[in-house]
Amino acid sequence: MRTVKYATKPASWSSRRGRGSLFASLLTAMALSRATTGTQRSIEPVNDLPNPYLTIDNYFKLAEGRWWSSTSAVDIDIDGRSIWVAERCAANSCAGSNLNPILKFDESGRLTRRFGAGIFIFPHGIHVDREGNVWVTDAHGPDEKDPSTKGKGHAVYKFSPQGAVLLTLGNPGMPGDGHGDLLNEPCDVVTAPNGDIFVADGHGGQKRNAPLGKVSRIAKFTKDGRFMRSWGTLGSGPREFRTPHGLAFDSRGRLFVADRGNNRIQLFDQDGRFLDQWKQFGRPSGIFIDTSDILYSADSESSQTSNPGWKRGIRIGSARDGRVVSFIPDPTPDPKPSGRSGPEGVAADGRGNVYGAEVSADARALKKYVKR
């Protein structure tokens, strides 16, 4: 992958917090103006960039008798080499299963740790914080026809690296209405350097005919789990979402939201002020930003109906200026009958290797991509 160099360093967290309220208001107004004018216009599909990676299949070794199931979530351990994965218990749900959905692999692909059995219905997003703790979202709620799901779902769990539950956000089994600390099908979670917690809440609002009451927001909590605020409703304007599916921070502290149903990434400050939107990274299911501000966007859903002209795959570019520089294409760009195949979750380790977590029935796997 080509290295992108910049002449100036990104602004520090403290300098961003210290700006005057008037200047911040002007920035917000300018961003909103861009959102309703220039950045709203359609852009040409970004499909024909170089692919500097080789795909390695079957790299990760599961326990004997276990096979890959739907695997939407992947992240990197604080050692920069080990890989954490949340997968759905050898199926597309952990309901009634006694398997461990949270798996850790070393850099050779060997399984070294597993935990989380009996906690989840639908493990979905994963995040490793700066202390090595592992956060996982449960993006479904209980099914009255399935007693095994009672008291589960609609929650985010913080685990120690050894698998002890340290904190729970939401009330498992109880859906929220989008206005407080209860959650409703949370998609992803990420923590800021000061420990504040951000949750992408609302997996069910992606379809264009989704009821207006569907939750589609970002919820912010303190590091000890106290609800602070939220922003966002169902829709397609600034600060509106159709399934906020993935979250990531850049080095400046900006929050990037994979607004999948709207075929865009939205950028916010940590108080929810809209900064910009980017459509050049396709229809993003998952996003990851490394320490050099390289942005990886996993597009698992682009098709002639959902995002005409765009191909699915992993687009790689800059979180600083939004330029896309490379593309790992999906080998089956519009598969049938599922309509999905490519990575839904994405991460990159300290050596630049990329990992794609694939979720659909015809491509359930964790793939590794290495530089040629």
The closest alpha carbon to 185, from 165, 168, 163, 201, belongs to 201
Instruction: Look at residue 8 and tell me if it is in a domain.
Output: no
HSE toward the beta carbon, residue 259, CA cutoff 13 A: 28
Q: Which of the two residues, 237 and 4, has the higher pLDDT score?
A: 237
Does residue 2 lie within any of the structural domains?
A: no
Euclidean distance between CA atoms 240 and 237, whole angstroms: 5
Query: Phi and psi at residue 107, in whole multiples of 5°?
Result: -70, -15
Residue 16 — very low, low, confident or very high, per pLDDT cuts 50/70/90?
A: very low
Q: Which two tokens stand for residue 42?
A: 């359609």
Q: Which positions ≥6 away from 141 have C-beta within 8 Å?
A: 121, 149, 153, 154, 173, 175, 184, 185
Q: Which domain holds residue 192?
A: 13-371
Task: Specify if 4 maps to a domain.
Answer: no
pLDDT band at 26 (very low <50, low <70, confident <90, very high): very low
Q: In the Cβ-directed half-sphere of 307, how many Cα atoms lie within 13 Å?
A: 30
CATH (domain of 364) = 2.120.10.30
pTM of the model: 0.88
Give residue-wise pLDDT tens across range 89-114: 999 999 999 999 999 999 999 999 99
Q: What is the mean pLDDT of the chain?
A: 87
C-alpha neighbours within 13 Å on the C-beta side of residue 120: 32
State the pLDDT at residue 3. Answer: 35
Mean pLDDT along residues 146-155: 97
DSSP 110: B
In a 3-state reduction of DSSP, which class is residue 35? helix
Average pLDDT over residues 110-134: 98
pLDDT tens-digit map of 268-283 = 999 999 999 999 999 9
Does residue 42 fall inside a structural domain? yes
46 lies in some domain: yes
Cα 324–chain centre separation? 18
For residues 120-124, give the mean pLDDT: 97
Euclidean distance between CA atoms 65 and 124, whole angstroms: 23
The total domain count for the chain is 1
Lowest mean pLDDT among 78-82, 288-292, 356-360: 356-360
Q: Whole-angstrom Cα distance, residue 370 to residue 372?
A: 6
- pLDDT > 90? residue 63: no
**Once rounded to an integer, what is the mean pLDDT over residues 130-146?**
97
Q: Give the residue-averaged pLDDT of 209-218.
A: 81
Q: Is residue 267 part of a domain?
A: yes
Parallel, antiparallel or unpaired: strands 165-169 and 155-159: antiparallel
Give every CB contact of residue 112 below 8 A, 6+ residues apart in sequence. Answer: 82, 104, 105, 106
> By three-state DSSP, how is residue 343 classified?
strand
Residue-level pLDDT at 37: 36
Which region holds residue 16: left if phi is over 0, alpha if psi is between -120 and 50, else beta? alpha
Res. 14: pLDDT tops 70:
no
Q: How far apart are CA 327 and CA 311, in angstroms?
A: 10
pLDDT at 229: 98
What are the Cα distances from residue 73, in Å, to 8, 40, 366?
A: 33, 29, 9
CA 175 to chain centre: 21
In percent, how much of the chain has pLDDT > 70?
A: 84
State how far the Cα of 319 lies from the Cα of 341, in Å rounded to an integer. Answer: 25
**Contact between residue 369 and residue 356 where contact means Cβ atoms under 8 Å apart:** yes
> How far apart are the C-alpha atoms of 137 and 188, rounded to whole Å?
6
Sign of CA dihedral 175, 176, 178, 180: negative
Whether 6 is covered by a domain: the verdict is no
Residue 57 domain-assigned? yes
Give Cα separations from 192 to 13, 66, 249, 250 (angstroms): 11, 35, 7, 10
Rounded Cα gap, residues 265 and 257, in angstroms: 5
